[in-house]
Each structure stands twice: as structure tokens, then as C-alpha cells.
Amino acid sequence: EESISVSELSQAMGVKASDLIRKLMQAGKMATINAQIDADTAAFLATDFGYTVEKKGFEVEEFIPEVAEDESKLVLRPPVVTVMGHVDHGKTSLLDAIRQADVAAGEAGGITQHIGAYNVQTQHGPITFLDTPGHEAFTAMRQRGAQVTDLVVLVVAADDGVMPQTVESIKAAKAAGVTILVAINKIDKPGATPERVMQQLTEYELVAEQWGGTTIMLPVSARTKQGIPELLEYISLQSEVLELKANPEKLAAGRVIEAKLEKGRGPVATVLVEEGTLRVGDALVTGIHYGRVRAMMNERGEHVNDVPPGYPVEVLGLSGVPVAGDEFNVVEDEKSAKEVAQHRAEKARQKELGSVKKATLEDLFAKA
Ligand code: GTP
Ligand code: MG
């Protein structure tokens, strides 16, 4: 049973303790400044002094059954690899070369506007790739990308060398504690000097294996496809070492990679499933949005009914456009999803109003 002292409550509410004591006496309760009062009494006082009191709870955890991690349920999942680097160094082209499909040509202005996510079936097994834009305006996306990822492929153009977003990508990967694999791209170009890139990277404590360091650096060309098979092999070798596992039997959880409103389709979210299996019909909550998964599409536009951990997928059926980087959770039913989402929306609204008088009882207890 939660309790709060009269003095703590008075501080949290910004009301004189003597006023609270007087109010309690009027209600037939004798109390001193240090007396502990229960939640109901605190709620009564808060209401009386003009605070809105709302039901505690509606946190997403409440709707997720608590089960201890069962080691026997863990199965291998594909590695999640984020491709990062300076603008125009060839991230999207490299992914295209890996996918053998040219999406870069269709991009507005040649800049990747959004982080893209897709799974590629390679000789060594499935690998999930996240593309990030190199443009300086997209720092947050690079940081988010680094957080959800198991490995970072840092693309550095051999003719251009280490540039500001190269450095920022290194910092994001290091902050997230993620191993960096360097792809020295555009080695087909006449002015390409891979050694210069290797030399520059030593300044950021990335020393090539061939120079006695621990970082794998591969010369590649998205244009001629030189080095691509080796890159994929190193990615799978690295991920084997990491022994990436997840439980596919849980309620699904993961992260929103990108989201947009599409004509005729409504809110469309690309999500990465991190644990559990996401299924059509699942009730889902992410930030202040919720919904039932109406349909899911993989990177080839094919409908899928269930998505295991480590795979990205496009989800239809949400109430609004979620925020990229936000977590998503599957909960027991749509009603719960809606409650959590509405509770969060209300909290966000109150925070915006910024009024002390609108503090919730929950907030009062948290402050005490
Ligand atoms: P942003 O997403 O805008 O940060 O760029 P990006 O890193 O995804 O680069 P993108 O793949 O769009 O390539 C930029 C330009 O470099 C394009 O004109 C590509 O054709 C060219 N390019 C990419 N890789 C290579 C390569 O290996 N060799 C040569 N010669 N050109 C390349
Ligand atoms: Mg790109």
C-alpha cells in the first residue's frame, strides 16, 4: 500500500501543510505534518485542491504477462546491420548491389530521405539491413540506427575519405557499443586511395586487421560489385560470434524504423521485430498510437502473416503515424492497446499544458 506524508504531499502540490491538515480535520481525520496518509486520502486532498486525479497504470508492462526468459525457447535470429556513412559515399548503392536491385535511381534527389529496412537472403543466411541517410540533418536517425543494430557497416568513399558524417557515424556506433565493419567504397574510381582512408581511420581508433588492429576493412565497389561477397561473408562471421538469439514465442516487441501516411493505405510503419513473432490481427501500441495489425508486407511487397525476430516489415492498421525510433509492443487486446495509447496521449497533453494544477496523483507520489 502506497503512502505519502502530509509534508511531502504539500510540497508536491505546492499547498501549505497547515491547509492540508485543516482540510483533513474538516473531514474528521486528525493528522500531523509527518503523518502518513494513504492513496485514497491523498486523492481526496488532491481533488479538493483542484488537481485532476486519474487512475494509475495503463503502462504497457501491465498488459504484458510477466514470464521469465526461457533459454530453451531462444532461437537464432538474423543480424541487424546498419549501413552508415557520409552523404553520397554509396550506402544505398552498396545495399542495392547486395540486393541486386536498383532503388537508388528512384530516390528523390539521390538522398535517402528515410531509413530503409530490408532482409536479404544471402549464401550465409538471412541478414537484415537498415539504410541511413548521410545528410547532416539526419543525426537522430543515425543514432537510432546504431541503437537497434548488431553491426555497423561504415561506408567510406575511397576518393573522398573520412568526412564529418563518417566521424559522427563512428561516434554513434561506439556510443551504442556496436562493432564497426568498414567498407571502403568506390575503389573502381581512378582517384581511389584505400590506404589513405585506413590511415585517416586510425585517428578514430579504428585500426585495420591488416595493420595489426581489430577492425575489418574491405575495399569494395557498389558499381563493379567487387568485394561484396567478402563483405557478406564477414558480416555473417561477425554475427555468428555474437550468437544472436531471441524468443519467437513471446508477444512481439520491437522498434519503429520509419513511418508515413500513405494515400489509400493510411499510416504505414516499417518496424523491426526484436522479440516475439508479430502476427496479422495482433493488437499493437507504439507511443500514442495503437491498432490491430491489418496487413503486413515484406521488402518485396508480399503479404506476410507472421514475422519472427530480426526481420523488418511494413505494418498497416495503426491509428496514426508513429514516431521513428519509438518502441512498439503487442498487448493482449486492442482495448488495452487503446488504453495505453490514450493514457500516454493524455500525459503528453498535460505535460504540454505544463500546469502544476494538472499534475496527476501518480506524479505526486513520484515526486515524494
Ligand atoms: P545518401 O543516402 O544521400 O547519404 O548517399 P549514399 O551514401 O546512399 O550514396 P548513393 O548510394 O546514393 O551514391 C552516391 C553516388 O555515388 C551515386 O551517384 C552513385 O552512383 C555513386 N556511387 C556509389 N557507389 C559507387 C561505386 O562503388 N563506384 C562509383 N564509381 N560510384 C559509386
Ligand atoms: Mg542513400
Q: Which atom of ligand 1 is nearest to the CA of 110?
A: 12
| 100 has pLDDT over 80 | no
Q: If pLDDT is split at 50, 70 and 90, which confidence band does 104 have?
A: very low
Per-residue pLDDT tens over the stretch 233-244: 999 999 999 999
pLDDT computed for residue 305 by the predictor: 98
Please give the distance, rounded to the nearest whole angstrom, from the Cα atom of residue 186 to the centre of ligand 2: 14
Other CB atoms within 10 Å distance of the CB of residue 180: 20
Per-residue pLDDT tens over the stretch 143-184: 777 778 999 999 999 999 999 999 999 999 999 899 999 999
Extract the C-alpha cell encoding 54. 486519474
CB 304 within 8 A of CB 312: no
Task: Identify residues whose C-beta is under 5 A from ligand 2, the ion.
Answer: 91-92, 112
Q: If pLDDT is split at 50, 70 and 90, which confidence band does 362 have?
A: low
Per-residue pLDDT tens over the stretch 8-29: 888 777 788 888 899 999 888 8
Mean pLDDT computed over 74-98 = 94
| 272 has pLDDT over 90 | yes
CB 80 within 8 A of CB 176: no
Q: Is the CB of 96 under 6 A from ligand 1?
A: no
Per the annotation, binding residues are 85-92, 131-135, 185-188
| 106 has pLDDT over 60 | no
Over pLDDT 90: what percentage of the chain?
57
How many angstroms separate the CA atoms of 25 and 33, rounded? 12
Mean pLDDT computed over 41-45 = 87
State whether ipTM is beyond 0.95.
Answer: yes
- Closest C-alpha among 284, 280, 269, 267 to residue 338: 284
119-125 own/partner pairs: CB under 8 Å, 24+ apart: 119/78, 119/298, 119/299, 119/310, 119/311, 119/312, 122/98, 122/232, 122/236, 123/229, 123/232, 124/232, 124/233, 124/235, 124/236, 125/78, 125/236
CB 14 within 8 A of CB 356: yes
Count of alpha carbons within 13 Å of 93, Cβ hemisphere only? 22
pLDDT computed for residue 46 by the predictor: 85
Please give the distance, rounded to the nearest whole angstrom, from the Cα atom of residue 39 to the centre of ligand 1: 61
| 107 has pLDDT over 70 | no
pLDDT computed for residue 367 by the predictor: 54
Please give the distance, rounded to the nearest whole angstrom, from the Cα atom of residue 110 to the centre of ligand 2: 7
pLDDT computed for residue 58 by the predictor: 65
pLDDT computed for residue 364 by the predictor: 60
User: Best substitution site from 86, 93, 221 to test ligand 1's pocket, by max atoms within 8 Å of Cβ?
Assistant: 93
Q: Is the CB of 133 under 6 A from ligand 1?
A: yes
